[in-house]
Amino acid sequence: MMPASRLPLPSAADLAIVGGGSVAVSLLYQFLLALEAAGGERASRPLRVALFEPQAEPGPGGAYQEDLPSNLLNIPAGNMSARADQRMDFVDWLRGQDPAWLRGYGVDVVAPSDFLPRPLFGAYLRAVHARCRELALSLGVTLVHEQCRVRHLALRQDGAIAVTPEQGASWIARHAVLCNGNLPSQAFPHLEGAPGYFNSPYPVSALAGEIDPDASVCVVGTSLSAVDAIAALQQSGHRGPILCVSRNGRLPSVRSPHNQAPKSLRHLTRDGALLLAARHGGALSVEVITQALKDEVQAMGGPLDADDVLGLEADARTALDEEIRRSSQAARPWQAVAAATNAAVDQIWHLMPDAQRSRFQTQWRALWMARRATFPMRNALTLQALFQRGQLQVRAGYVDTRYDPADQRFHTRLRGAAGDATLASRYLVNATSFSVNAAATRDPLVAGLLQDGLARPHAFGGLALDFDTGCLMDARDAVLTQLSVLGSLAGGTYFWTTSMDVNARLARDQAQRIAAALTRPAPLTDPGNPADSPSLARWPAHRPTRPAPTASS
Ligand SMILES: Cc1cc2nc3c(=O)[nH]c(=O)nc-3n(C[C@H](O)[C@H](O)[C@H](O)COP(=O)(O)OP(=O)(O)OC[C@H]3O[C@@H](n4cnc5c(N)ncnc54)[C@H](O)[C@@H]3O)c2cc1C
């Protein structure tokens, strides 16, 4: 080992962003826009931002990689923007692209209501990152992409964050934001390494490339990821039987192409939710929220037909036929209302006491996920055709799966009214979605934060955060004002962090808070203030830790 005196000096950053996917790029862009908007109130020295992302190009992250075009965005293009204040940014960018390039993805005309192939959004995010580089240059901000994973984050005594990458020199940052995305699923550790096992459906091109087209495939999970896996198999000409299983056997609801966003909501806006809570003793219960949702749907003239809103109680094939019929015929106001709650969903969740959140998680979450996370008509028709050909079965009552090396098959057990049944398949695709269980993760960065007491798991998933700022709460419930979190690890605090519009809004709020902290004029009486001192040797060493008060929840 090199003697400490000869170790390279760490680099310094004002902001370190850990991860370089959609959420990180949205944060970076809105941080630079906030600095630009601050105009004259520039920091008294040039700022430095370091983005840590192992992929060569920041932007697409895990969700928006180049992959088969059957992978569709599950949100209309008009709601997919890296900027919270310009919802049409993605659509406007697409309209400026070469029509021949767009036709390569099967896109002729771009409409805000379209569900476009996910790789197009990845290309947009790369372009947003390129804009960030230009904007940084014009603002005099140094922007560095460190192409590596971060292994460890530590809080130094001076209050700065020590960022240790897997390779290369470490960094010291005044603020760090964790945008490291989804933790890998740990649903089937006993199957890892079994031939024919896929721990994730992504990239779906791997399923298409590696699965024998005549073999049997079992997809575990019936949510959006399962739909992606099935659509990819169909697109790649798979001929063998596809079995799709989960506990409830419910496919997501099919989004109606006729939906129009409500002009305004009465109760389920940010202010409306506060007023509603005030009328109910300062908190929201599952019943109060359910009634408010019903009122909003009725205000749009929508029916409250249980088969429409909760889905037909039938086998998956009949239920899908009914979903397609309803969504082809007319708008479904309940879907439009549910989508519009994205603007206040974190506030609504925050106003629910823990007992109500627990009730929701245990009794309603599975149903809410299946109905709220809708999927586009194009993929619904693909599944319908597979059902009609007798190639696809979707079954409820999933119990477990084991791999038998003797016959090289996966044996999946289902439980129904008639008892247990076991179905064999040559391949198994885990489409049960990512993990939000921070306490159980093998991710060294997250596990290290927990071990060091800098973070604690949130009871409803991810890490415990201060609601107002998104900053980590440490093991003793103090808020670490220098270290915040965005994306799925923030899901226990904000509930719906799997939607770009929610993530872009949360990212803007953090970007503006950090930009304001970095451009705030320094008090004249504090010669050691880090904002005045470009030298690494000076500023981190004098910075006191001043934890903010804990969250108001
Ligand atoms: C398959 C899929 C499809 C989705 N489709 C949609 C959709 O259509 N519309 C929508 O609104 N939402 C969608 N979502 C939900 C949500 O938008 C995505 O989860 C979102 O893109 C997450 O972005 P992210 O930046 O948080 O994470 P990711 O895209 O996972 O990016 C995280 C990045 O962090 C990097 N990283 C991880 N660990 C480290 C580390 N230790 N150090 C440095 N870098 C690290 C990774 O390399 C990765 O690039 C989808 C989610 C998934 C999983």
- Is residue 78 within 8 Å of residue 91, measured between CB atoms? yes
Query: d(Cα 219, Cα 24) in Å, to the nearest integer?
Result: 31
For ligand 1, atom 49, the nearest C-alpha belongs to: 61
Over residues 142-185, the pLDDT tens digits come to 999 999 999 999 999 999 999 999 988 899 999 999 999 999 88
Query: How many angstroms is it from 381 CA to the middle of ligand 1?
Result: 27
Amino acid residing at 27: L
For strand 242-245 and strand 392-395, is the pairing parallel, antiparallel, or unpaired?
A: parallel
Query: Other C-beta atoms within 10 Å of 62: how many?
Result: 17
Containing H/E element for 99? helix 99-103
First to last CA, the chain: 47
User: Same topology for domains 9-182+436-542 and 189-252+376-430, yes or no?
Assistant: yes
Nearest to 176 by CA among 498, 455, 496: 455
Q: Which residues lie below 8 Å from residue 532, measured CB to CB, with a gap of 6+?
A: 44, 45, 522
Nearest to 246 by CA among 467, 58, 102, 399: 399
Over residues 310-322, the pLDDT tens digits come to 999 999 999 999 9
Query: d(Cα 372, Cα 375) in Å, to the nearest integer?
Result: 9
Nearest to 459 by CA among 355, 345, 344: 355
pLDDT value at position 7?
52
Look up the CATH superfamily of 9-182+436-542: FAD/NAD(P)-binding domain (3.50.50.60)
Question: Probe ligand 1: pick from 23, 177, 379, 502, max atoms within 8 Å of CB?
Answer: 23
pLDDT at position 545 over 60: no
- Is residue 308 within 8 Å of residue 334, measured between CB atoms? yes
- Is residue 23 within 8 Å of residue 487, measured between CB atoms? yes
| Mean of pLDDT values over 372-400 | 96
Beta bridge partners of residue 424, listed in sequence order: 411
* Helices 22-38 + 500-519 axis angle, to 10: 40
Find the radius of gyration of the CA atoms of the chain.
Answer: 24
pLDDT value at position 529?
38
| Mean of pLDDT values over 191-218 | 95
pLDDT at position 402 over 50: yes
The response to whether residue 203 sits with its C-beta less than 6 Å from ligand 1 reads no
The response to whether residue 21 sits with its C-beta less than 6 Å from ligand 1 reads yes
Ligand 1: which atom is nearest the Cα of residue 23?
25
The response to whether residue 62 sits with its C-beta less than 6 Å from ligand 1 reads yes
Q: If you ran DSSP here, which 8-state letter would residue 489 be given?
A: G
Query: How many angstroms is it from 459 CA to the middle of ligand 1?
Result: 22
For strand 171-178 and strand 11-18, is the pairing parallel, antiparallel, or unpaired?
A: parallel
The response to whether residue 384 sits with its C-beta less than 6 Å from ligand 1 reads no
CATH class entry, domain 189-252+376-430: alpha beta
| Mean of pLDDT values over 544-549 | 29
Record the tokens describing residue 551, joined without a space: 């969250």
Of 40-54, 121-135, 392-406, 512-526, the one with minimum mean pLDDT is 512-526
Record the tokens describing residue 365, joined without a space: 């979450």
Record the tokens describing residue 308, joined without a space: 């429409």
For ligand 1, atom 3, the nearest C-alpha belongs to: 63
Ligand 1: which atom is nearest the Cα of residue 433?
53
Ligand 1: which atom is nearest the Cα of residue 487?
26
pLDDT at position 547 over 80: no
Query: d(Cα 91, Cα 96) in Å, to the nearest integer?
Result: 9
Each domain of the chain, given as residue ranges in start order, spans 9-182+436-542, 189-252+376-430, 270-372
pLDDT at position 212 over 60: yes
Query: How many angstroms is it from 21 CA to the middle of ligand 1?
Result: 6
The response to whether residue 81 sits with its C-beta less than 6 Å from ligand 1 reads no
The response to whether residue 436 sits with its C-beta less than 6 Å from ligand 1 reads no
Query: How many angstroms is it from 10 CA to the middle of ligand 1?
Result: 28
Query: How many angstroms is it from 44 CA to the middle of ligand 1?
Result: 34
Ligand 1: which atom is nearest the Cα of residue 80?
11
pLDDT range class, residue 369, cuts 50, 70, 90: confident
Nearest to 357 by CA among 454, 437, 289: 289
Record the tokens describing residue 378, joined without a space: 């194009």
| Mean of pLDDT values over 281-295 | 96
Containing H/E element for 506? helix 500-519
Question: Probe ligand 1: pick from 22, 89, 430, max atoms within 8 Å of CB?
Answer: 22
**More confident: 41 or 495:** 495
For strand 242-245 and strand 217-220, is the pairing parallel, antiparallel, or unpaired?
A: parallel
Query: Other C-beta atoms within 10 Å of 448: how many?
Result: 17
The response to whether residue 181 sits with its C-beta less than 6 Å from ligand 1 reads yes
pLDDT range class, residue 508, cuts 50, 70, 90: very high
Give the best-scoring range by mean pLDDT among 151-165, 432-446, 513-527.
Answer: 151-165
Query: In the block, which residue shows the tokens 């586009």?
Result: 376
Query: How many angstroms is it from 487 CA to the middle of ligand 1?
Result: 8
| Mean of pLDDT values over 341-350 | 96
Ranges of beta strands (E only) in 156-246 are 161-165, 171-178, 197-198, 217-220, 242-245
The response to whether residue 530 sits with its C-beta less than 6 Å from ligand 1 reads no
Over residues 177-196, the pLDDT tens digits come to 999 999 988 889 999 999 99
pLDDT at position 9 over 70: no
**For the chain, what is the total number of helices (H) and then of strands (E)?**
19, 16
- Is residue 27 within 8 Å of residue 486, measured between CB atoms? yes
Ligand 1: which atom is nearest the Cα of residue 182?
30
DSSP-derived 3-state class of residue 3: coil
pLDDT at position 522 over 80: no
Ranges of beta strands (E only) in 417-546 are 419-425, 427-430, 471-473, 479-485
pLDDT range class, residue 80, cuts 50, 70, 90: very high
pLDDT value at position 60?
96
pLDDT range class, residue 1, cuts 50, 70, 90: very low
Over residues 247-281, the pLDDT tens digits come to 999 999 999 999 999 999 999 999 999 999 999 99
**More confident: 68 or 89:** 89
Query: How many angstroms is it from 116 CA to the middle of ligand 1?
Result: 17
Query: How many angstroms is it from 448 CA to the middle of ligand 1?
Result: 21
pLDDT at position 219 over 60: yes
